[in-house]
């Protein structure tokens, strides 16, 4: 009769916590997100009920209300329910809404933090999101906030000088770069994109803010904007000089 909200980390099974692995092996039911890797799913007890509630961008999936109802129903019926979420359950994971739904139904909740992609992704590219004498802090923001409740003050973010880490920004990289430059961040600000961090197919793009997103950004990706991103080690054959003039044309076509 406990629902465990468990962070699965960014993808690499070795970045899972010991507690998460123990709970997966003991679970009566596991409710799984899209960004959880196959090696982690292999740790689930063979006898456990398994529910895939992954939301794929642009495709219909279960609503958050339906996911909440499922978790509550499982929590009322079974002893050990694991709600397994990518990264950390409380970083853009809607974990708090699921915890609220369980508590409202008098079901015990335990939160098991995971390593968030917002920190592990940059680290995989050689970036420390805070760095003494370079950046005294970082802001983790979503590019996918409901426009009706968007609380992000991009001007304040640009003025702060802090490292900006953007999740769910693959399709909005160009407009985020434009917004930050309009707010005063220099066009030459070091920037990086880490795609599939700590999982198969990991790639790193490194360049300037005015080049960010000109090459299509695949999902899932993390955008890092700020001087700390100068340490990013790009992978692949990217040649920034091919972008001369492309960005303006790309923006004009939007
Ligand atoms: C709904 S948010 C969930 C974030 C998650 N709770 C965390 O702490 O990492 C999903 C977004 O996280 C980022 N993300 C998660 N895992 C990632 C990975 N392995 N590589 C790159 N980006 C990732 C992407 O920006 C993706 O669109």
Going from the Cα of 174 to the center of ligand 1, the distance in angstroms, rounded, reads 19
Class for the domain spanning 2-112? alpha beta
Does ligand 1 come within 6 angstroms of the Cβ of 117? yes
Residues of the chain with CATH 3.30.950.10: 117-252
pTM of the predicted structure, to 2 decimals: 0.90
Residue bearing the CA closest to ligand 1, atom 5: 87
Reported as a single tens digit per residue, the pLDDT across 36-88 is: 889 999 999 999 999 999 877 667 789 999 999 999 999 999 999 999 999 99
DSSP letters, 145-195, are: --GGG----HHHHHHH--EEEEES-GGGHHHHHHHHHHTT--TT-EEEEEE
Does ligand 1 come within 6 angstroms of the Cβ of 197? yes
Going from the Cα of 211 to the center of ligand 1, the distance in angstroms, rounded, reads 22
Residues of the chain with CATH 3.40.1010.10: 2-112
Flag the least confident range among 73-87, 166-180, 237-251.
237-251
For residue 89, is the peptide bond before it cis, meaning its omega torsion is within 30 degrees of 0?
no
CATH, range 117-252: 3.30.950.10
Active centre residues (catalytic): 33, 55, 168
Reported as a single tens digit per residue, the pLDDT across 104-126 is: 999 999 999 999 999 999 999 99
Whether residue 149 contacts residue 43, with contact meaning beta carbons closer than 8 Å, is answered with no
Flag the least confident range among 54-63, 86-95, 157-166.
54-63
Report the nearest atom of ligand 1 relative to the CA of 166.
Answer: 25
């Amino acid at each position: 009769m406990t629902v465990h909200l468990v962070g699965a980390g960014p993808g690499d099974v070795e970045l899972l916590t010991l507690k998460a692995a123990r709970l997966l092996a003991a679970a009566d039911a596991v409710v799984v997100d899209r960004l959880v890797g196959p090696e982690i799913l292999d740790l689930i007890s063979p006898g456990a009920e398994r529910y895939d509630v992954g939301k794929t961008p642009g495709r219909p999936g279960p609503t958050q209300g339906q996911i909440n109802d499922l978790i509550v129903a499982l929590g009322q019926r079974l002893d050990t329910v694991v709600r397994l979420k990518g990264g950390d359950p409380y970083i853009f994971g809607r974990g708090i809404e699921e915890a609220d739904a369980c508590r409202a139904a008098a079901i015990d909740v335990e939160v098991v933090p995971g390593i968030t992609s917002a920190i592990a992704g940059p680290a995989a590219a050689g970036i420390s999101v805070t760095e003494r004498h370079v950046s005294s802090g970082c802001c983790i923001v979503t590019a996918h906030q409901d426009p009706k409740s968007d609380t992000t003050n991009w001007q304040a973010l640009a003025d702060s000088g802090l490292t900006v880490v953007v999740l769910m920004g693959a399709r909005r990289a160009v407009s985020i770069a434009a917004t930050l430059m309009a707010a005063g961040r220099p066009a030459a600000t070091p920037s990086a994109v880490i795609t599939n961090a700590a999982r198969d197919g990991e790639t790193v793009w490194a360049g300037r803010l005015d080049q960010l997103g000109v090459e299509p950004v695949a999902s899932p990706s993390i955008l890092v904007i700020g001087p700390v991103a100068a340490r990013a080690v790009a992978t692949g054959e990217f040649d920034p000089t091919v972008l001369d003039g492309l960005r303006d044309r790309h923006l004009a076509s939007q």
